[in-house]
Each structure stands twice: as C-alpha cells, then as structure tokens.
Structure 1
Amino acid sequence: MNLANFRELGGLKNKEGRQVKHNRLLRSGEVFQINETSRDVLKQHDLNKIIDLRGEHEITTRPDDELDAVSYHWIDIMKEVHDNGSMEDLMDVSDLTLVSNHMKKLYTNLILNEGAQQGYREYFDELLKTESGSVLFHCFAGKDRTGIAAALTLEFLDVPRETIYEDYLKTNIQRQKPNEIFLKEAAERGMTEGQLAGIKVAMEVEKDYLDHAYQLIDENFGGIEGYGKEVLRLSPSDYRLLKELYLD
C-alpha cells in the first residue's frame, strides 16, 4: 500500500464509552498515483468523499487520483497564509530550533488565520452532509492540516484528549518509510546533513505542536467549545448530528 500515513478513526472510544463508527472517518497523506492495493483498501472502507486540504500548487502538480463513485472537495486551508510551512520553505533551514519554531508558526496559522478558520468551517460542513460511507480527509503528508482536522473532529465527538494525542503521534510511525524515501531523494539532490536533519524534523509531528494549538484555542476562545461556537459556528444541533452520524 502506497497511500502514506493512512488510518481510520473508527473504533476509538469517547468519554461515554461510545465508539467512533467504522468506515466513516479516514485520514491520510496525498492521494496521488496510489496503487491497486491502496484503491482496494479505500473500497473496503466504503469511501464516499475525499476532502483535500492542500494548496493550489500542490493540487496542480500532484492532483488526487480520480476514484469511481467518490466525490472530491477541495478546501485550501492555507490559502491566506503566505509562509505556509511547506517543505520547500524548509529546504534551506538547517537550524533545528528554527525548524521547530517554523512548525509552531504553522500551527498558529492553522488555529488563528481567518482563511484556515473558514477552511475548517467548510470541512465540518462536509462532514455534517455525509450521511453514509466514509470521508477521507488529507493534505500532503497527512500530519499538520490533517492532524488539526482529526483532533477537532475527535474533540467534538467527545474522544478523550489522551486518545487524540495518540492518534496524532501515530504519524511518526506511519510516515517512517515515506520519510526515509523522501530523505534519500533529498540527499541525492545534494542536501547537506544539517538540511536533512531539518527536513526530518519538519516531516514529523511533536507533542509540542498540538500543545501549542490547544494553548492558542484556550487563550483566544476560552477552550474547545468556544472555538467550536465562535470559529466553526457549530450549533448544539450540529454537535448532536455529528455524534449521530459518526458514533455508534
């Protein structure tokens, strides 16, 4: 299977002991030139809708594969962010502290940038409209834009934060092989050891990044409920519907 960083959120338990339904919520990296094994796995998960959170350059150069009977929705989460923390921006950064700061700045934008807020609002609109089959949401690596989407979704399904962090950090295991290939290709293009170390940091997730996102939510919106109401404009009936659609 060459669909990187793929997993379903089904089976995760919320605080009341209810489970996230299987074959409803999937997350991954880009759906570009995926092999037959990956296609078969997506069929087994009853894929109905893809939500692509990447930018215009990404979808132009590496467009998602067209899949039978699957609707495609593009939401450019970083459309209003000009220094968007893309891998190209980090190619010349060999100071690991700078890379880490760059990643935290990316998460600041994911929470506070108006374009990103609008994007996540659209993302939840799509979830609330999907009555059957599974939704696959993804970005390039399936770790930051997708990581925040997954964390927010699980928050509103009342999944414990400990479980949310576990899912978030799984990226470092699941991206291990794709990252090794990426780094090997970067080394062949003449990247220095310092640059490769910086890229490795940028290709992984850290608990600190998600901590930073939650801290911003607490400081600016008084917590996740305030963020849901003020930014995502989710109503009590939206929360009820979300749980009805995605929890057993």
Structure 2
Amino acid sequence: MTIKPARVLDITGGFNFRELGGYPTVNGAAVAWHRLLRTAHLSDLTANDWRGLQAYGVGQIIDLRSRVERRQFPDMPQPGVTIHVIPVFDNDETESSTAAAQTHREFSVNPNGGYRHMLYVYRRLIINPGAQRAYRQVFETLLTTPKNVATIFHCSAGKDRTGIGAVFILSALGVPRKQIFADYLLTNSASTQHIEARVKDAKNQYRTVAFQQSIRDLASVNIDYLQQALMLVDYQYGGMQAYLQEVLGMTPQRQQTLRQLYLTRRCD
C-alpha cells in the first residue's frame, strides 16, 4: 500500500486521518509534509495500513488517551515505531463520559446537553493542570524527534484532545489562526461516517431526538467549542503566545527550534 501525501489520508482501518503538511505560515514558510499526522484511534488499522504508514515515514506515536481507552482500543506495537503515552485526562471527558447514567438522563431531555458538555470539556483542555502538563510533554517529544521521522498524535476520535494539540502545534509553527480554524473544522467532513454511525446507533436504541442531537454534538466539532478554548487563552492567559511560553514552556528559542524541525520553504 502506498499512501500519497494529502490533507485526508486514505487509511482503510482509520478515520479522521490527516496531514498537517503544507499549511502556510505567516513568515512565508510551510509545514513540512510527512512529519505531523493527526487522527483517531489506531486499533482498527490493517497490516497493509501499517506498511503504508511506515513507508510514509511514521516512526512515532503520541497517544493522548486515558488508561481505560487504551485498554479498550490499544495501539498495537509496530516494528520501528515508538509509542509515547501522554494522557490529557485521567478519563475521556469528551465522548466516553456519556456512559454516566446521570449524563444520559440529561441528554435524553435536553438537546443542548452534548453541546454544553463539550464547551465544558474545552475549558478543561485549557485550564486543567493535567492537560497543560500533557501538552508540554507533547512539545518536549516533538522537539527531540529527528527530521526524518513522522509523528502520529491521536486520541479516540481525533477531534478534541487531538484538535487542541494541533491548535497549539500549528500556532507555535506560525500558522495563521484562520487556517487553524479550517483545519479544526475539517474533522466533520473527515468523520462523516463515524458521526452518522453514532447517531444511527442512538436512534436504533430508541433514544430520544434530544439524545440523538447530544450524541451528534459530542461526535462532531463546532467552532463554538474552539472559540470557547481560545477565549480563555486570550483573556485569561494573555493570548496564544503567552500561553505557549508561560504555560506550555515553548519559549521563543524552543519555537524557533520547532520551526527548524517542522517547517520547509513554501512552494506555491
């Protein structure tokens, strides 16, 4: 299997599998291809998928999931691929938390339950000390990765913990916020089958229309979610640069190193 560079990669056993390569920066460079891949869980990847990814240059995985998620859908060890386990939360607060009976009851009567829950999660992604520590570790890992190695970073659906990770990485690389928003929203079209399957499953279980809407809101991304996070970054921490430097330890020198590792000359 040969995987060609593209925004959404053709992976048989995966979904929401995406390249960050090619995004332009404010300084006229671009994110290098074959370096940074974001995705959902990897447990359904086929042997052929893995052969293609290793040929693509993948030599490292950053797993942002909780212990329970890793046990349920493990990343299977692959020859020559290093796995770094860096959980953002102790538990998956994005989707799997819908297993709580109280939350289920709320979703059954309140069509905005899932939406409101996700706003809460995105606040936690910014202010929770464990999440902050995890994203610092992500940067530490990327800063010590050789230029010839592609890194996959992922969570369960590749949209929230992974999405915020992509926001931080692209911001540190100098990608404009408008482009970062576009990358974030691409999850919905790259996950259409997954989203519809989750809603259909809820419908087949005779869940209420309100519950189905909450499931859709949990399984999708929404610009409101990201704006909630960035509003905290801007108004509580003084902006993205202040957050990167003071909270995530990405000093100007470290950002420069990151750019040397992950940017290339732009070819229009």
TM-score (norm 1): 0.94
Instruction: Determine if contact 2:29/2:263 at 8 Å carries over to the other structure.
Output: yes
Structure 1: runs of 5+ lacking an equivalent: none
Report the identity percentage. Answer: 36
- Pick from 39, 64, 67 the counterpart of residue 78 of structure 2: 67
- Counterpart for residue 76 of structure 1: 87
CA contact (8 A) 1:91 1:199 kept: no
Instruction: Give 1:86 shift.
Output: 2.8
Say yes or no: does 1:47 pair with 2:58. yes
Q: Tell me which amino acid in the other structure corresponds to 1:70.
A: V
Amino acid at match of 2:38: R
Partner of 2:126: 111
Shift of residue 83, structure 1, vs aligned partner:
8.1
Answer with 230-239 or 137-146: which moved more: 230-239
Once residues 37 and 45 of structure 1 are traced to their aligned partners in structure 2, the CA distance between those partners, rounded to angstroms, is 12
- Please state if 1:146 is matched with 2:162: yes
Q: Distance in 1 between matches of 2:111 and 2:52?
A: 37
1:176-191 equivalences under 5 Å are 176-191=192-207
What residue in structure 1 maps to residue 180 of structure 2? 164
Is 1:86 aligned with 2:95? Answer: yes
Amino acid in the other structure paired with 1:102? H
Asked whether the 8 Å contact 1:50–1:72 carries over to 2, the reply is yes
How many residue pairs get aligned? The number is 246
The alpha carbon displacement at 1:37 in A equals 4.5
1:25-50 residue CA offsets vs partner (Å, 9 max, x unmatched): 00000011212443244224210100
Aligned CA distance change for structure 1 residues 35 and 208 (closer, same or farther; 3 Å) = same
Which residue does 1:230 correspond to in 2? Answer: 246
State the partner residue of 1:124: 139
1:241 corresponds in structure 2 to 257
Match of 1:192 in 2: 208
Output one character per residue of 1:133-169: Cα deviation in whole Å (capped at 9) or x when no partner. 1010000000000000001100010001111011000
Contact 1:87 1:202 in 2 (8 A): no
Q: Which residue of 2 aligns with 1:2?
A: 13
Distance in 2 between residues matched to 1:148 and 1:219, nearest whole Å: 17
Shift of 1:179: 1.8
The CA deviation at 1:203 is 0.5
Distance across 2 between alignment mates of 1:241 and 1:202: 36
Distance 1:48 1:229, change over 3 A: same
Report what 1:101 is aligned to.
116
The amino acid across from 2:95 in the alignment is: S
Secondary structure at the residue paired with 1:19? strand
- State the TM-score, normalizing by the size of structure 2: 0.87
Structure 2: state its 5+ residue gaps: 1-11
Secondary structure of the residue that 2:233 maps to in structure 1?
helix
Instruction: Measure the CA separation in 2 of the matches of 1:115 and 1:139.
Output: 15
Question: Which letter maps to 2:121?
Answer: L
Contact 1:111–1:216 (Cα < 8 Å) also in 2: yes
Q: Using a 3 Å threshold, how does the CA distance of structure 1 residues 38 and 185 change in structure 2: closer, same or farther? A: farther
Report Cα offsets for 1:68-94 as digits up to 9, x if no partner.
210001111012xx6823334254413
**2:198·2:215 contact (CA, 8 Å) conserved in 1?**
no
Equivalents in 2 of 1:83, 1:4: separation in Å?
A: 19
- RMSD of aligned C-alpha atoms? 1.6
Q: Is the 8 A contact 1:7 1:26 kept in 2?
A: yes
Q: Name the SS of the counterpart of 1:76 in structure 2.
A: coil
Structure 1, 27-36 or 149-158: larger mean CA deviation: 27-36
